[in-house]
């Protein structure tokens, strides 16, 4: 007896067993419709079955359907033979995309029907590695899909705009007037959108645009359609951003994006191009979290599709419509080190880019957690407190955070102190193994400039900086910028670009990441000369 699993939404067309002596044996009748029981399955017998699986469209608006990638190798054991076939016609074409290491297909045509077959024999098992982009695409695999066009995706949104231009809607009139007054000024749009987020809760039952007037009346509805309508009425260029959603791993309690196996690109944001002529840039509006200019931190390391922008259709691992750096931090630390091992430090953390919106939101909702996250890496187990002018915005709309820490006296810190230079610990995540068989996805995007000044009332300060191996995606530099009898100035520069690391290039990147981890903890020594006794 042999059993085969029947996928959901599948229809069985044929199932039988051909024995060694040429007899045809029908399957057994079972009440369980999720499995197929085949009789007289023995060495030399042939099992023949045909089943048709019906798939729901991935995008209910456009009808685009993407099947999961079919792996030609198995992770459970060696594969003797695997085969994937695509049968279609030119009038109903199916796009079959094969991974780079998949075998070449065999093509057969009969009339208008065409058949493409990918076959692999005697393939060893495989093991998936963490932080791998499109894991199935690192293996021999084929994916069948029918894609939607740009017009089919944007069509419902353009119809929404045309419908509301044909009829007046009193509930939308005040918002449209405010949008026209705001025009292309980012600060006014920020105030308008914050009022909108406070008035309308986000609820999106499907990927089609919902009624914005109904959302205003109920206080809950589709924020994306409302923002899209306001932008178009105010003559502001708008862009739709669709991204793969997050899912939570139950075993590790971590958020990860679902990957290309699901291809469920849900609408995550509307991007607006704001600013004066010659100084325009894209501002992101995260409709789910209610963040203005805060989409990029929430989309980090996730595939996304941007539609309606100047670039047209574009796939991006970390979507960036502007040419400037997404996020950057400039940290200034002034530390006074007492002779009894105590120290007091004041920290000024200047944050720029899309990260500002997320940090401001956390500062408002949970300031204690934000302070603990900022200070724990640099000063572990030391209590921190916000400064009186803890949060300000400078002239370039950068967020400036200020806080202080104070550590008690400790004999172990009288002659040596270890300082954390805002560690990112990339080696702990990416440099765990010596080699890899698959490509690595680096999802961090770091631009850090840190200046630390250490002073002591007495003694001479010394520090041994680290020389870090450089990599295409990782660059770090440390040096002593100034030193005198009781003062030491340390400059620390750290830059990481998100991107892909090939398997052959991984050992060098892993070594650089582990070296960066060691350099993020800097030891400072103090030498105090003994007091000279007066001569008799």
The 10 Å Cβ neighbour count of residue 182 is 20
Give the model's pLDDT for residue 466. 87
The 10 Å Cβ neighbour count of residue 95 is 12
Distance CA 384, CA 368 (A): 9
Distance CA 218, CA 396 (A): 37
User: Tell me: the pLDDT tens digits for 124-171?
Assistant: 888 878 888 777 778 899 988 876 666 666 778 888 888 888 877 888
pLDDT at 248 > cutoff 50:
no
Distance CA 320, CA 323 (A): 7
pTM of model > 0.85: no
Give the model's pLDDT for residue 437. 85
* pLDDT bucket at 316, cuts 50 / 70 / 90: very low
Distance CA 179, CA 174 (A): 9
Give the model's pLDDT for residue 175. 92
User: Tell me: the pLDDT tens digits for 249-282?
Assistant: 333 444 444 443 334 567 778 888 888 877 788 8
Give the model's pLDDT for residue 303. 64
Q: Are 404 and 384 in contact (CB under 8 A)?
A: yes
Enter the tokens of residue 392.
């300000």
Q: Are strands 46-53 and 10-18 parallel, antiparallel or unpaired?
A: antiparallel
Which DSSP helix (H) or strand (E) runs through 509? helix 506-519
Those residues with Cβ within 8 angstroms of residue 307's Cβ, 6 or more apart along the chain or in another chain: 150, 153, 154, 239, 240, 241, 242, 313
Those residues with Cβ within 8 angstroms of residue 31's Cβ, 6 or more apart along the chain or in another chain: none
Give the model's pLDDT for residue 446. 86
Closest Cα partner for 55 from 47, 64, 65? 65
Q: What does the angle CA 268 – CA 68 – CA 5 come to, to the nearest 5 degrees?
A: 130
Those residues with Cβ within 8 angstroms of residue 428's Cβ, 6 or more apart along the chain or in another chain: 517
Distance CA 404, CA 383 (A): 9
Task: Find the largest Cα–Cα distance for the chain.
Answer: 119
Give the model's pLDDT for residue 442. 85
Q: Which residues of 268-277 are buried (b: 16+ CB within 10 A; e: fewer)?
A: bbbbbbbeee
The 10 Å Cβ neighbour count of residue 68 is 15
User: Tell me: the pLDDT tens digits for 391-417?
Assistant: 888 777 788 999 999 999 999 999 999
Domains of the chain: residue spans and CATH: 2-146 (no CATH), 150-316 (3.10.620), 327-527 (no CATH)
Q: Are 384 and 405 in contact (CB under 8 A)?
A: yes
Enter the tokens of residue 479.
């040096």
Residue bearing tokens 């800097």: 522
Which DSSP helix (H) or strand (E) runs through 334? strand 327-337
pLDDT at 195 > cutoff 80:
yes
pLDDT at 312 > cutoff 70:
no
Over residues 79-94, mean pLDDT: 84
């Amino acid at each position: 007896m042999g059993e085969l699993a029947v996928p959901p939404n599948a229809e069985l067309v044929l199932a039988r067993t051909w024995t060694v002596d040429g007899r045809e044996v029908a399957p057994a009748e079972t009440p369980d419709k999720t499995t197929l029981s085949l009789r007289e399955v023995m060495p030399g017998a042939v099992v023949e079955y045909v089943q048709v699986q019906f798939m729901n469209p991935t995008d209910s608006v456009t009808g685009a359907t993407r099947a999961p990638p079919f792996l030609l190798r198995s992770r459970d054991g060696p594969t003797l033979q695997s085969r994937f076939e695509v049968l279609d016609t030119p009038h109903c074409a199916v796009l079959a995309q094969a991974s780079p290491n998949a075998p070449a297909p065999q093509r057969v045509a009969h009339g208008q029907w065409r058949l493409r077959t990918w076959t692999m024999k005697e393939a060893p098992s495989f093991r998936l590695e963490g932080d791998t982009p499109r894991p199935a695409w690192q293996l021999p695999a084929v994916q069948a899909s029918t894609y939607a066009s740009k017009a089919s995706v944007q069509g419902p949104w353009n119809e929404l705009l045309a419908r509301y231009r044909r009829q007046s809607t009193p509930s939308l009139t005040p918002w449209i007037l405010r949008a026209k007054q705001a025009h292309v000024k980012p600060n006014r749009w920020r105030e308008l959108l914050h009022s909108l987020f406070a008035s309308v809760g986000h609820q999106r039952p499907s990927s089609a645009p919902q009624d914005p007037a109904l959302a205003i009346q109920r206080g809950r509805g589709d924020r994306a359609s409302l923002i899209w309508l306001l932008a178009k009425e105010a003559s502001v260029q708008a862009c739709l951003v669709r991204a793969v959603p997050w899912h939570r791993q139950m075993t590790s309690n971590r958020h990860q994006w679902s990957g290309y196996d699901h291809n469920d690109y849900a609408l995550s944001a509307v991007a607006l191009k704001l600013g004066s002529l010659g100084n325009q840039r894209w501002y992101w509006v995260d409709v789910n979290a209610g963040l203005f200019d805060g989409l990029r931190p929430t989309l980090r390391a996730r595939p996304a599709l941007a539609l309606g922008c100047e670039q047209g259709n574009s796939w991006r691992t970390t979507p960036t419509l502007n040419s400037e750096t997404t996020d950057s931090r400039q940290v200034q630390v002034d530390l006074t080190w007492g002779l009894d091992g105590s120290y007091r430090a004041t920290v000024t953390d200047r944050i720029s880019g899309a990260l500002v919106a997320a940090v401001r939101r956390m500062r408002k909702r949970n300031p204690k957690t934000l302070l603990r996250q900022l200070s724990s890496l640099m000063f572990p187990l030391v209590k921190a407190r916000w400064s009186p002018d803890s949060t300000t915005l400078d002239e370039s709309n950068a967020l400036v955070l200020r806080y202080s820490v104070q550590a008690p006296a400790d004999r172990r810190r009288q002659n040596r102190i270890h300082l954390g230079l805002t560690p990112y610990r990339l080696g702990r995540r990416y440099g765990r193994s010596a080699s890899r068989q698959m490509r690595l996805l680096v999802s961090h995007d770091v631009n850090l400039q840190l200046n630390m000044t250490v002073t002591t009332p007495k003694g001479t300060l010394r520090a041994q900086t680290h020389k870090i191996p450089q990599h295409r995606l990782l660059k770090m530099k440390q040096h002593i910028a100034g030193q005198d009898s009781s003062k030491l100035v340390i400059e620390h520069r750290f830059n990481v670009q998100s991107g892909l690391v090939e398997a052959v290039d991984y050992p060098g990147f892993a070594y650089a990441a582990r070296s960066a981890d060691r350099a993020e903890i800097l030891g400072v020594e103090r030498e105090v000369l003994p007091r000279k006794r007066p001569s008799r």
